[in-house]
Structure 1
Amino acid sequence: MTNERRVLVHPDKASLAGAVAARFITKTLDILDAQPVAHIVLTGGTMGASVLEAVASSPAHTSVDWSRVHFWWGDERWVPAGDAERNDGQSRAALLDRLDLPAENVHPFPASDSGISLDEAADVYATELAAHGVDGLTHPVFDITFLGAGPDGHVASLFPHRSGIQVTDRTVIPVRNSPKPPPERLSLTRPVLNASQRIWIVLAGADKASALGLALAGASRDEVPVAGIKGRRRTVFFVDREAAAEVPEELIAPDY
């Protein structure tokens, strides 16, 4: 089993989204050829939605048996169901609502209007993860985990100089006083993310260049959380040319 970090650079956001979408379809087909189901973690943000929209617009997406794919999220904003800020809503609009998916294959975080507290919501999602755990794990083995990263290097809702990135004894944490609105959120923890077989981090824009450069240069995960994220088999940074501005040439892969 290999454990690699690669950086793949694309000319612009549109070509980046299209390339990631094509690889996602191909890799999902490969995964389903080797095992009965696939577990995928989705992310929010502009690029997260753009990739899913590119999947939906690709004729090749119909070749995937989506009924065998389970979708999860790396984090969520603690806002009401249906709020435009929710990551799951963005993902549904971009792709999931266009697929013939069994309802039980979609695993959104609880919403703020669900009648439970933020702490209880973290426990609810932890229970959901555990229900799909295998080999004694308290969570599924995620086949592909999509993530973005903020200009500050935060990943999911694990922020710099906050305790969340250090939590190792929980699968889901409540997040309060987030430096990025809204202030309350839910997030998977670093050990759960790092248990993923493949982590695909999709970044675009000049404002991401510094965080990416620091992460690849070995920055502390407490200062640049994305630096502490690494999949079991492979970690790929799919980036556009602007985001790659501070990546050393020797770390850029010619192909994947």
Structure 2
Amino acid sequence: MTGAPVVRRHDDSDTLVGDVASALLERIEAAQARGEVPHIGLTGGTIADALHRELARRAPDSSVEWSRIAFWWGDERFVPADSPDRNALQAREALLDHVPVDEAHVHEVPASDQVATAEDAASSYSASMREHGAGSFEVLMLGIGPDGHCASMFPGHPALGARDAIAVAVHDSPKPPPDRVTLTFEAMERSRAVWFIASGEGKAEAVARALAPEGTVEETPARGVRGEETVWWLDEEAASAL
């Protein structure tokens, strides 16, 4: 049973990033102390990049065993593997290349120079999750767009209705690049914790719509994801319309 979302407000984006980094490292340490290999869902975007860099900066002083973490992504852009649009490439450059991960535990969505279509990439990613997934994420991190999208679930798009699937292809994305792969709502909700991370005044209206007592997932897809625990990590600008 999922509880109501918790909102955590921070004075600015630097404080936000620092607090999320602390909370994530503590959560990973606790899971590893229980003997688990925590499965973490990464996201992309400016604030995620700042978070990844902060995690890399703190890594030497942390007791986290980076080789005992499984990394996934909530969505990916269907572009070549070396494209700067790739969420995975951004995460590697900011974090994963700087900590001793086990490559067998880094599960990327296949790129457009590796498989023929976004459908093929979604199918392959789904198969990887069936084979290597833990059944749920310890933490799935998500952003929110000014239009209320999360992962690559966009307002009014067919992927919103996907059922009995782990990942699906998305075409004609209103935000470039047009072809993507996204986890479905059903897959994203298999999370001990869903953490939305948002910074800046440009996200304020979408955050308010996502957390409003009334509204639809069709209009604001971020309303459609809740874990066992759901936390909205916001700076004051992103929280300004609440």
Band of TM-score, shorter chain: over 0.9
CA deviation string 1:154-203 (max 9, x = no partner): 00000001121121221110010000000000000001101111001000
Of 59-68 and 171-180, deviating more is 59-68
Matches of 2:46 and 2:115 in 1, distance apart?
A: 29
The alpha-carbon deviation at position 59 of structure 1 amounts to 5.2
2:189 paired residue number = 194
1:154 to 2:149 alignment? yes
Matches of 2:76 and 2:133 in 1, distance apart?
A: 21
For the 8 Å contact 1:25–1:60, the answer to whether it is kept is no
Matches of 1:67 and 1:120 in 2, distance apart?
A: 28
Provide structure 2 residue ranges, at least 5 long, that are not aligned to the other structure: none
1:102 to 2:102 alignment? yes
Matches of 2:201 and 2:28 in 1, distance apart?
A: 30
1:171 to 2:169 alignment? no
2:216 paired residue number = 220
The one-letter amino acid paired with 2:123 is D
Q: How does 1:12-161 map to 2 (within 5 A)?
A: 12-58=12-58, 62-133=62-133, 140-161=135-156
CA RMSD of aligned residues (A): 1.4
Aligned to 1:40, the other structure's residue is in SS state strand
For the 8 Å contact 1:88–1:108, the answer to whether it is kept is yes
| Superposition misfits of 4+ residues, deviation over 2 angstroms | 1-4, 59-62
1:5 paired residue number = 5
The alpha-carbon deviation at position 60 of structure 1 amounts to 6.2
The one-letter amino acid paired with 2:26 is T
TM-score by length of 1: 0.91
2:232 paired residue number = 237
For the 8 Å contact 2:195–2:232, the answer to whether it is kept is yes
Count of paired positions: 241
For the 8 Å contact 2:147–2:206, the answer to whether it is kept is yes
State percent identity of aligned pairs. 39
* Shift in alpha-carbon separation, 1:2–1:61, aligned structure 2, 3 A: farther
The alpha-carbon deviation at position 61 of structure 1 amounts to 5.2
The one-letter amino acid paired with 1:185 is R
* Shift in alpha-carbon separation, 1:18–1:169, aligned structure 2, 3 A: same
TM-score by length of 2: 0.96
1:254 paired residue number = none
The one-letter amino acid paired with 1:207 is G
Provide structure 1 residue ranges, at least 5 long, that are not aligned to the other structure: 135-139, 248-256
